[in-house]
Amino acid sequence: MRAVIVEAGAVVVRERPDPVPGTGELLVRVQAAGLNGADLLQRAGLYPAPPGSPADIPGLEFAGVVAAVGPGVERFVVGDRVMAVVGGGAQAELAIVHERTALAVPDTLASVEAGGFPEAFTVAHDTLFTQCALRPGERVLVNGAAGGVGIAGAQLALVAGAAVVASVRAAHLRKALEAFGATAVDPADAAAHGPYDVILEPIGAPNLKTDLDSLAIGGRLAIIGIGAGARGEIDLLQLMSRRACIHGSTLRARPLEEKAVAARLVERQVLPLVAAQRVRVPVEEVFGLKDVDAAYTRFAVGGKLGKIVLDIPG
Amino acid sequence: MRAVIVEAGAVVVRERPDPVPGTGELLVRVQAAGLNGADLLQRAGLYPAPPGSPADIPGLEFAGVVAAVGPGVERFVVGDRVMAVVGGGAQAELAIVHERTALAVPDTLASVEAGGFPEAFTVAHDTLFTQCALRPGERVLVNGAAGGVGIAGAQLALVAGAAVVASVRAAHLRKALEAFGATAVDPADAAAHGPYDVILEPIGAPNLKTDLDSLAIGGRLAIIGIGAGARGEIDLLQLMSRRACIHGSTLRARPLEEKAVAARLVERQVLPLVAAQRVRVPVEEVFGLKDVDAAYTRFAVGGKLGKIVLDIPG
């Protein structure tokens, strides 16, 4: 198979042996694989793949068709359309995933959309509902709202009956966020629209003070990314008097069973919304496998609405 | 009635008009009132009483006997022994409490013990179970473990099947903590006994880095006091990779309904343990009302095991 390989700080396409599915695993002919911030970190040598994932093939999510199944597989058969979050190795013509973490692709979702769905929607769902226990009527601030997780989070919070303020620096992207039903604002104006019961923070330390200042009593701040910095000062008295909570999490480092639980929740609680077209998966741009370097460059530039996806025809 | 009054940064005893119970309220002849860190802050003018509490009479907890009831009271009658957390005003011969936040005093508890029970055990129970969802088999670090909340937290965590490491600076207090079943250590050695699923932090910012370094995957750090400092730096990447959470809370600022919920949980889940003598309320020293200044001084010195309580014979 051909695969994207991280080599000396760059991404290139190389031939690799076809992987073989083990017990409970699917071999998937990948049709599309979304890019994520972690890919850029891995390219820079900063975010090694967890044990059990290919060490030098990046990619945290894909969609494709089951090409073979390992012993004991119960949930899928050859030919099924599937999509999944994986610890790595998604950006290749073939990939392995445990069937307990794979999701059936709804008919309403094209392959490039499905390739950009799993990571963003799983992180957004896990953060808003499993960690932050979002309730209808609450106020949510989604920072970096035009990114994959941002768009997913804004839509899921809206469907769940929350009021959503979506902050994004690029003014030209705000109209699209308003179309989802969010109030789209410049990051500098986000605090003025608070206080917030839940804040989704994918950017990191530079937003920490404003986030904490904007939390309501009983508010929950969820840190899901630190691309702009990891270290920041907090005021514990403020945290106490707000009776607030700061959550941190990543999906990638979790053990198989926790990823499977998160995937099952997405299957039950998000896929029906996708099938009913109540949430969408915006894709900003699609690149072929041979243009992977250009895809990474486009991803890094920012100012995009939704996902950058590699199209990998089998 | 006589009451402790905060006057120009000092505490003195003055005559005040007897309070009158409103709808749903009890008038309690106070027998004992525990001291808390908040009292020192209030004496220093730093922690004003919440609306509805006497502005200049300190005291967050008391035990006594119901002397009169307001309209609509259903849970108690004159003569009942009760104890409660209040927003202020406990350090007086008479105090008012809403019946929904009052607890019956178990026969096993002497008045001075009951006067030092409500705040520490309510905070410890709320923090360990309601906020941090402590489970049996988990590892708990209790810092400041010889204080009222610390001793309450260590005992409740032990009863709940957790393994407890209790850190306390004063070496002579460690034997008593070991007697409860905890592993008592110097604060400098606490990290070496980790990682911890739950950390109870009543001291504040100086412990923040060590606390975060000592958290297990999925760990919860609960900030319940900031006597040694409120501002500290955190590493959001560390919080993410640990999938950890920082909770802040205070009891005093909560609305009546939330205090009542917390009190009901203590009634159902802690009072049976008190009645069965599975948890105790250590009292370091008892002072008469006229010696209130000495009581505050003793409280501020530290190095004590458990509560400082004012004995207020009616």
Does B255 map to a domain?
Answer: no
Q: Is B229 left (phi over 0), alpha (psi -120 to 50) or beta?
A: left
Do A73 and A142 have their domain in common? no
On whether both B141 and B100 belong to a single domain, the answer is: no
B47 has a pLDDT exceeding 90: no
Q: What percent of chain A has pLDDT over 90?
A: 93
> What are the residues facing A179 on neighbouring strands?
none
Same domain for A68 and A40?
yes
Give a yes or no: residue B11 inside a domain: yes
- CB atoms near residue A312 (< 10 Å): 31
B145 and B108 share a domain? no
B228 and B215 within one domain? yes
Q: Does one domain contain both A144 and A244? A: yes
User: Same structural domain for residues A125 and A243?
Assistant: yes
Q: Does A253 touch chain B (CB under 8 A)?
A: yes
- For residue A311, what are its two tokens? 């199209």
Structure tokens, A243: 């009776």
pLDDT at residue A185, as a whole number:
98
The residue to which tokens 């890919």 are assigned: A39
Which candidate, B2, B70, B72, places its Cα nearest to that of B33?
B2
Which tokens in the block code for residue B20? 């009158």
State mean pLDDT over A188-193: 97
Residue B281 distance to chain A (closest CA, Å): 25
Which CATH number does the domain housing residue B192 bear?
3.40.50.720
Residue B306 counted as domain residue:
yes
pLDDT classification of B46: cutoffs 50, 70, 90: confident
The residues that bridge with B97 in the sheet, in sequence order, are B26
Asked if the structure places residue B259 within a domain, the reply is no
DSSP helix, strand, coil percent of chain A (3-state; round to 5) = 35, 30, 35
Pairing outcome for strands A231-235 and B25-34: unpaired
A93-110 exposure pattern, b = at least 16 Cβ within 10 A, e = fewer: bbbbbbbbbbbebbeebe
Whether residues B240 and A226 touch (CB distance < 8 A) is answered with yes
pLDDT band at A154 (very low <50, low <70, confident <90, very high): very high
Judge whether A231 is closer than 8 Å to chain B, CB to CB: yes
Structure tokens, B125? 């129970």
Closest residue by Cα to residue B299 from B59, B127, B111, B84: B59
Q: Give the gyration radius of chain B's Cα atoms.
A: 19
Mutate to test the interface with A, among B236, B242, B254, B259 (most CBs of A within 10 A): B236
Per the CB < 8 A criterion, the answer to whether A3 and A277 are in contact is no
- Please state which of the ranges A18-22, A160-164, A229-233, B44-48 shows the lowest mean pLDDT: B44-48
Rounded CA Rg of chain A? 19
Taking CB atoms and an 8 Å cutoff, what residues of chain A touch B238?
230, 248
> What residues of B are in contact with residue A219 (Cβ under 8 Å)?
none
Contact A34, A91 (CB under 8 A): no
- Written as one letter, the residue type at A209 is K
Q: Using DSSP bridges, classify how beta strands B61-69 and B81-85 pair: parallel, antiparallel or unpaired.
A: antiparallel
Quote the ipTM score: 0.94
- The per-residue pLDDT for A85 is 97
pLDDT, tens only, B14-37 = 999 999 999 999 999 999 999 999
The per-residue pLDDT of chain B, averaged, comes to 96
pTM of structure: 0.95
Chain A CB contacts of B235 under 8 Å are 230-231
Token pair 């059936």 is found at: A104
- Min Cα–Cα distance to chain B from A253, Å: 7
Q: Does residue B190 sit in the same domain as residue B80?
A: no
What pLDDT shows up at residue B313? 84
For B287, the domain range is 2-117+268-311
Of A254, A204, A241, A246, nearest to A225 by C-alpha is A204
Residues A140 and A39 in one domain: no
Would B74 be classed as within a structural domain? yes
List chain B residues with CB under 8 Å of A204. 236
A314 has a pLDDT exceeding 80 = no
Count of positions (residues) in chain B: 314
CATH number at residue A296: 3.90.180.10
Whole-number pLDDT of residue B314: 65
Task: Name every residue whose Cβ is closer than 8 Å to that of residue B272 and which is 6 or more positions away in sequence.
Answer: none
Please give the tally of structural domains in chain A.
Answer: 2
Instruction: Classify the C-alpha dihedral B224-B227-B230-B234 as positive or negative.
Output: negative
The residue length of chain A stands at: 314
In chain B the first and final C-alpha atoms are separated, in Å, by: 10
Residue position matching structure tokens 């904007």:
A214
Question: Tens digit of pLDDT for each residue in B153-173?
Answer: 999 999 999 999 999 999 999
- pLDDT tens digits for A6-40? 999 999 999 999 999 999 999 999 999 999 999 99
Helix (H) / strand (E) containing B153: helix B148-159
Residue B262 lies in a domain: no
Residue where a domain terminates, one of B194, B218, B248? B248
- Angle formed at CA A143 by CA B238 and CA B248, multiple of 5 degrees: 50
Which chain A residue's Cα is nearest to B252? A241
Residue B302: per-residue pLDDT: 83
- Whether residues A142 and A56 share a domain: the answer is no
Sheet holding B196-201: strands in order across?
A: A183-185, A163-167, A139-142, A196-201, A215-223, A245-248, B245-248, B215-223, B196-201, B139-142, B163-167, B183-185
Please compute the mean of the pLDDT values over residues A151-155 and round it to a whole number.
98
Instruction: Count Cβ–Cβ pairs < 8 Å, chain A vs chain B.
Output: 96
- Residue B284 vs residues A30, A292, B30, B116, B124: alpha-carbon distances, Å: 68, 69, 20, 10, 19
Q: Over the stretch A105-152, which tens digit does the pLDDT of each residue have?
A: 999 999 999 999 999 999 999 999 999 999 999 999 999 999 999 999
- Nearest C-alpha in B relative to A212: B248
Q: Identify the DSSP state of A187.
A: G
* Spatial separation of the C-alpha atoms in residues B271 and B285, rounded to whole Å: 23
Question: Residues of A with CB below 8 A from B252's CB?
Answer: none
Whether the CB-CB separation of B126 and B250 falls below 8 Å is answered with no
Judge contact between B197 and B138, C-beta under 8 A: yes
Which residues of chain A lie closer than 8 angstroms to B240, CB-CB? 223-224, 226, 248-250
Q: Is there a domain that residue B82 lies in?
A: yes
- What are the structure tokens assigned to B239, written together? 């919080």
B256: in domain: no
Mind listing the pLDDT tens digit for each residue in B98-157? 999 999 999 999 999 999 999 999 999 999 999 999 999 999 999 999 999 999 999 999
Contacts of A110 (CB under 8 A, 6+ apart): none
Check whether residue A238 and residue A292 sit in a common domain: no
Tell me if residue A21 falls in helix, strand or coil. coil
Tokens for B28?
């309690």
Residues of chain B above pLDDT 90, percent: 93
- Averaged confidence pLDDT in chain A: 96
Kindly report the backbone phi and psi dihedral angles of residue B202, in degrees, each rounded to the nearest multiple of 5, phi listed first.
-95, 0
Domain stop point among A248, A277, A298: A248
Q: Which of A40-54, A117-131, A247-261, B63-77 has the lowest mean pLDDT?
A: A40-54
Q: Which residue of chain A comes nearest to B235, CA vs CA?
A: A231
* CB within 8 Å of B110: residues ≥ 6 apart: none
Q: Do B248 and A249 touch (CB under 8 A)?
A: no
Of A223, A248, A273, the residue that ends a domain is A248
The reply to whether A213 touches chain B by the CB within 8 Å rule is no
The pLDDT score that the predictor gives to residue A210 is 97
CA distances from B75 to A100, B28, B99, B265 (A): 52, 14, 7, 16
Residue B312 has what DSSP assignment? -
Is residue A268 classed exposed, middle or buried when 0-12, 13-18 and 19+ CB atoms within 10 A define those classes? Answer: exposed
Distance from CA of B90 to the nearest CA of A (A): 21
* Three-class secondary structure of residue B94 per DSSP: strand
- Residues B216 and B238: beta-carbon distance below 8 Å: no
Residues B51, B125: one domain? no
SS3 B217: strand
Per-residue pLDDT at A46 exceeds 90 = no
Spell out which residues of chain A touch residue B223, defining contact as CB-CB under 8 Å: 236, 239-240
Residue B104, judged by CB atoms within 10 A of its CB (0-12, 13-18, 19+), counts as middle
For residue A176, give the nearest of A146, A203, A144, A153 by alpha carbon. A146
